[in-house]
Amino acid sequence: MAPPNNQKRVKGVQIHRPFIYGTTAKLFGEDNPKPPGTPADHTHSWTVFVKGVDDTDITYWCKKVQFKLHESIPNPMRMIEDVPPGGAFEVHETGWGEFEITIKIYYVPESLEKPQTLYHHLRLHPYGDTEEAKEAMRRGPDIKSWIYEEQIFSEPYNEFYDILTSPMPREKGGGGKGTRVMKGGMVGSVGERTASIPLTTRPDQPFSRETEKLEIKRLEEARVKVNDLMDKMSDDLKEKEAELDKLKREYNQPGVRA
């Protein structure tokens, strides 16, 4: 899309906005009965979505989202738009099998940017003996396959830059002038559309600074373990090389034949 003559990119600026996409599935049962008209072979209800971290508003930069489902599903191309601020772009369906969902994110017109395409595998079951699978079983019947992502806007056009960095509309009542009450009882500035994420993890919010710290710790522990293994392999290799040199010397001594 060619920008209007008065639109120029803001040079040297990069803005990122976090969001989540993925699926949540649940097996049909007593606490999740089949809706009337559901095909007999369908075993799960599921939802595919794109939303802000901690349900923050992303509609000021995300205009609409297209979900391409499996061709066996009626009307497999679903375009979701006109979502209220803080809401999720989502599709609810039922089924029995897993497949890849194509997710196309369309930006607001002021961005003058082309849509972005993501791919996500619908997961209906926790797999294997991994810690992730065990944790999914402990959490209960909901099978969550959620991905944290950051949308990067490099050198956005000036009008879109103003939208990304302008204050959010003030909310009337509740927290007094200049404040708003957020999830978990936190009170924060109304002013800014930022890239912040929650400090602590909750069952409905797995992505937080706490999660980030735990992941960094896990990666550091893995790095130490890998280094230990590499040191051990290096010592073993030196030992084998010394043994090989010894055998060569013995073989090359006078009187030793093949």
pLDDT in tens, 67-88: 999 999 999 999 999 999 889 9
The domain spanning residue 121 has which CATH number? 2.60.40.1970
Whether residues 168 and 216 share a domain: the answer is no
Whether the predicted pLDDT of 161 surpasses 90: yes
Whether residues 176 and 220 share a domain: the answer is no
Whether residues 64 and 137 share a domain: the answer is yes
Name the average pLDDT for the chain.
Answer: 83
* Alpha carbon distance 80, 48 (integer Å): 11
Q: Determine, yes or no, domain membership for 217.
A: yes
Residue 34: what are its φ and ψ, rounded to 5°?
Answer: -65, 135
Q: Determine, yes or no, domain membership for 107.
A: yes
Q: Determine, yes or no, domain membership for 139.
A: yes
Q: Determine, yes or no, domain membership for 4.
A: no
Q: Determine, yes or no, domain membership for 176.
A: yes
CA within 13 Å, CB half, 131: 1
Whether residues 173 and 218 share a domain: the answer is no
Q: Are 163 and 108 in contact (CB under 8 A)?
A: yes
* Alpha carbon distance 147, 50 (integer Å): 10
Indicate the burial class of 241 (C-beta count within 10 angstroms; 0-12, 13-18, 19 or more): exposed
* Alpha carbon distance 102, 23 (integer Å): 12
Q: In Å, how far from its chain's centre is CA 81?
A: 20
Whether residues 156 and 57 share a domain: the answer is yes
Task: Taking residues 32-54, report their average pLDDT.
Answer: 94
* Alpha carbon distance 107, 163 (integer Å): 12
Whether residues 95 and 167 share a domain: the answer is yes
DSSP for 154-192, please give it: ES-BHHHHHHHHSPPPPPPSSS-TTEEE-GGG-EEESS-
pLDDT interval class at 116 (50, 70, 90)? very high
22 SS3 class:
strand
| Residue 215 amino acid letter | E
| Residue 240 amino acid letter | K
Whether residues 75 and 169 share a domain: the answer is yes
Whether residues 74 and 142 share a domain: the answer is yes
Per mean pLDDT, which range of 4-13, 63-72, 97-106 is the poorest? 4-13
Residue with tokens 């010894």: 246
Whether residues 168 and 55 share a domain: the answer is yes
